[in-house]
Amino acid sequence: MTGMQLTGGRTSRRGFLGHTVTAAAAGLAAVSTLSVSGCSDSMRSASGRKSNGFIGKGDIVLLQGDSITDAGRDKKREDNANDVRALGTGYALFIASQLLGEPADASVKVYNRGISGNKVFQLANRWDKDCIALKPNVVSILIGVNDIWHTLNGEYNGTVEVYERDYRALLTRTQQALPGVRLVICEPFVLRTGAVTDKWFPEFDGYRAAAKRVAKDSHAVFVPFQATFDEAVKSAPPAYWAGDGVHPTIAGAGLMARTWLDVVSHAKA
């Protein structure tokens, strides 16, 4: 991504988060990206979500994860639902714009509580405040890249087994605390460019498989982001979608939002 710096082969998160666009520009980019990618059809199908019951009037939707979800959000405003600055400049903002606008329904409340650098155990450490206390009806989680990345750079001693064990425990805890909660598990993804080298593989594929198993066993909706980007690189190079191979560009975030909306709009409660 233009303007990001690499230090020792690792992308600086400060550099990434510092390279944000204004909320207004992000909103315009969201509309442009989703329209160009054909998301008008997705939006129409998403408007049917009220009838299939996965997301309904008055629902609280929580988007959780690491820096991909965080996307430079203003944490001082995080208690404000549907706040453009609190939602960040990534896929969470784009999803919220469609949930609130097609059809128009401000009764849905969307929160972004992603935090840059988080791994599964760090989600668990803040889960009471950043999930349970909000009493969400829908919880969407994208986590996993840091669980392997920080292991590769020596900052964390994690394994696929630890990731899966911690993830299962987190979801069990969530379902016990929030009976009837609807879960959306997003597949962790990377693109082979920037910080993502051959040393990520095949281990990273194990994290993806673990997330899919956890989703199935938790009766959660599974969003196949890796498959989406694998298809996208047939039409544009990896850096077009994620400059460092991990953090999406505006085009990548728009594609994520479209994929999420397509999957969730067809899910059953």
Active site residue 150: no
CB-based contact 229:188 (threshold 8 Å): no
Active site residue 166: no
> Which of 67, 97, 218, 265 is the catalytic position?
67
Residue ranges of the alpha helices (H) in the chain?
13-18, 23-36, 39-47, 49-52, 67-70, 91-101, 120-125, 127-130, 145-152, 160-177, 203-217, 225-232, 238-241, 250-265
Alpha-carbon dihedral sign for residues 18, 21, 24, 30? negative
CB-based contact 46:98 (threshold 8 Å): yes
> Which of 83, 147, 244, 262 is the catalytic position?
244
Other C-beta atoms closer than 10 Å to the C-beta of 268 total 8
Active site residue 219: no
CA pair distance 26, 169, nearest whole angstrom:
35
DSSP at 62: E
Structure tokens at 165: 């064990």
> Which of 97, 218, 247, 265 is the catalytic position?
247
By annotation, the residues acting in catalysis are 67, 244, 247
